[in-house]
Structure 1
Amino acid sequence: MKRSFSFILAVLLVAACSKPEQTPTWTRIDLPADGPVVLTDVADCDGTWWAVGAVRTGATETRPAAWTGDPWTEVRFVPRPESYYGPRQIIRSVACADGRVAMVGSVPGGAHGNPRVSTWRRQADGRMTENKAPFETYGGDEAIDVGPIAASRQGFAIAGTRTSGAAAWLSSDGVTFTLDESDRAGTSATGITARPDGSWLITGTGADQQPAAWVVDDGRWAPAAPPPPVRETGVDSRNSPVEPVAVAERGPTRLMAGDDSLWQTTG
């Protein structure tokens, strides 16, 4: 039976509209390493992909590690000569702006296994150097948690929590970080982003355990409305080869870290 063009076109349109979205094709990236890889964060830094974490050197031992791509190469880490925990850390978070890169690393230590935290900065030759800081800056009796790092043209900031409540560590150069406590008992800070005016938006929970946010500028903490949920990156764990730990996007390309593998898809 002869079909009219309009009929065939209608069938094609219905089929196209009912066609489910294509499952992305993920390609595994083999990172150069001399042992099993641990991944915690990924980022697009001025057009260069970064993946950070650690390399396992034993059953319970690690060393800090990061890779840049593409092509993917491992970054060299230079702990301070007197540092005991720096050479054993896992890098937890990476941030970059205007060619500057900084990271936060930690590893359990001491009698109670509390995190021993360091920050790291990128040198002109590409190496990551551990920054010197008094133990009480990130640790001590008031320590609870040190969270993610963010970057802007003005510098770097880290969100976290002390016994006094939500806190931040601020730095203009990625070398020296200064603790800035909110003195809001019962609150916590778990996320941080740079604002166009040079201040920082910190998100977390209030004393009533509800979402809370603050704008931090020059040592002043001002309450802010919690931002709406960020747009999903489009990675559906049901259609991905591993459970996502972190995802970064550059245009149609997505870089995804599992806890021990790196993946990429385009489209």
Structure 2
Amino acid sequence: MRPPARFVATALAALLLVVAACEAEAPPPTPPQPVSPQWKPVTLPVPPGPAGRVLARDITRCGQAWYVGGAVQSPDGATRPALWSTTDPAGLTGWAARPVDTVGDYYAIRSVLYALGCRDGLVGAIGAKSGGAHGNPRVRTFWSRADGTLVAVPSTDFELYGGARQVSVNRIAGGGPGGWLIAGNRAGGATVWTSPDATKFTIHEDLPPLASSPDLATSSLDTTVTAAGWLVAGGGRPAGRIDRDPYVWTSVDARSWTRVPLPGTADDEEAQRLARTADGIVAVGLAGTAFGAWHGDANGGGWSAVTRFGATGSGAVAGVETVAVLDDRLVAATVGADGHRLWTSDLSGKEWRSLTTPVQVGPGGATAAAVGGGGGTLLLAVDDGTTSTIWSSRLPPS
């Protein structure tokens, strides 16, 4: 005997309510467990000169050595540039301060090294110290002599990095066509500087389509070498909008550029750091209220859609500080409302997990974090505004 239609309808409605209730009560997916390295502290010696505390601002693996760049800050706030190195693969022992020749340049003497690059086993660096009537950063670059001494490039052209069009001088890379390249910004938008040997840089500004145009205001934040030349990463703000879209630019000679939009959304997005891996190139940056990663090929093309991780929070300036490349993974240092944090993924940048840090450092203009990678070793530098500490860990295979 067939049940009445009213009974079937009532039973079906009840079943749908049960299913809906079960779906509503289903817990969210459990986030992956954080990776917990075994951190070991590293000691950097204070270089000869006035007493002070170490400021560690960037880390790189160059040739067979690790390098940490930064400064020494005296109790009265005065700073002087400092560079440390070791050939210990684990980065634990053997650290020594490298000689720094500031060539008597006023701001080179006071610079804090904040960006390191590498070419043929030699380090190049960018440093700065705020000064002048408006307190703007007075940028200086540094190159390495064959004996390992880091030498400042004295200022002979105030407009090279400063002047009325000054905005920012961000990252440096070596090994591409023509030698060295710096990515930064001027009043006209994204800008690069080039040098064959890092002893003298030439500015290339207002280069379309790298620079801003009436329909797009551009900015560049990082650079790396590709199989075909140079890659610069950043973003662009279309006319009439307040949010940014992520972009990279490619070039075979640092003079003629091709603009490549990264797959984006309606959120505010910007590519801030680049990592060159055996699987291609990964760009990491902001993606709305999270951090994001895009994967491209070795030539800086073929980009995949954004992979989001973490959260920026609100009430603090958020961004990706540095990215390190290890044998089988990436590690990114980010800053957001919850402070400085570490994240790790495979070399494609598609699967991200939180990575525990040896100390917790909150957000703030006087704080900083940086990572460097080589083989299976990760080095971490953190500064809470009072003390800089350096840590090393041998990460297990992922």
TM-score surpassing 0.5?
A: yes
Comparing 231-240 with 177-186, which one deviates more in the overlay? 231-240
SS of 2:159 mapped into structure 1: helix
**Whole-angstrom CA distance in 1 between matches of 2:52 and 2:111:** 15
- Tell me if 1:88 matches 2:110: yes
Equivalence for 2:258: 222
**Whole-angstrom CA distance in 1 between matches of 2:204 and 2:230:** 12
Equivalence for 1:206: 236
Q: Which has the higher contact order (CA 8 A, sep 6+)?
A: 1
- Tell me if 1:188 matches 2:210: no
Equivalence for 1:177: 201
**Whole-angstrom CA distance in 2 between matches of 1:51 and 1:78:** 17
Q: Is residue 189–residue 219 contact of structure 2 (8 Å, CA) maintained in 1?
A: yes
Equivalence for 2:154: 132
Q: Is residue 98–residue 153 contact of structure 1 (8 Å, CA) maintained in 2?
A: no
Equivalence for 2:286: none
- Tell me if 1:249 matches 2:376: no
Q: For 1:196-242, what per-residue CA distance to the aligned partner results, in whole angstroms no more than 9, with x for missing partners? A: 22x21111111322111111333112112436526641745762123
**Whole-angstrom CA distance in 1 between matches of 2:119 and 2:100:** 20
Equivalence for 1:99: 121
SS of 1:52 mapped into structure 2: strand
Look at both structures and tell me which one has the larger radius of gyration over its CA atoms. 2
Identity of aligned residues (%): 34
With over 3 angstroms needed to count, the CA separation of the structure-2 counterparts of 1:214 and 1:153, relative to structure 1, is closer
- Tell me if 1:239 matches 2:261: no
Q: CA deviation at 1:130?
A: 0.6
Q: Is residue 204–residue 212 contact of structure 1 (8 Å, CA) maintained in 2?
A: yes
**Whole-angstrom CA distance in 1 between matches of 2:192 and 2:154:** 18
Amino acid at match of 1:258: V
In angstroms, what is the RMSD of aligned CA positions? 2.1
Q: For 1:28-70, what per-residue CA distance to the aligned partner results, in whole angstroms no more than 9, with x for missing partners? A: 1111004211111101101210011111023321100110013
- Tell me if 1:28 matches 2:38: no
Q: For 1:107-159, what per-residue CA distance to the aligned partner results, in whole angstroms no more than 9, with x for missing partners? A: 10101100100110011121111113411110010000010111115411111
> Any gaps of 5 or more consecutive residues in structure 1?
1-19
Paired positions, count: 247
SS of 2:237 mapped into structure 1: coil
Q: Is residue 35–residue 356 contact of structure 2 (8 Å, CA) maintained in 1?
A: no
Structure-to-structure mapping, 1:140-155, within 5 angstroms: 140-152=163-175, 154=177, 155=179
Instruction: Tell me which stretches of 4 or more aligned residues in structure 1 moved more than 6 Å.
Output: none
> Any gaps of 5 or more consecutive residues in structure 2?
1-32, 89-93, 239-243, 263-281, 284-292, 295-328, 333-341, 344-353, 362-367
Q: CA deviation at 1:21?
A: 6.8
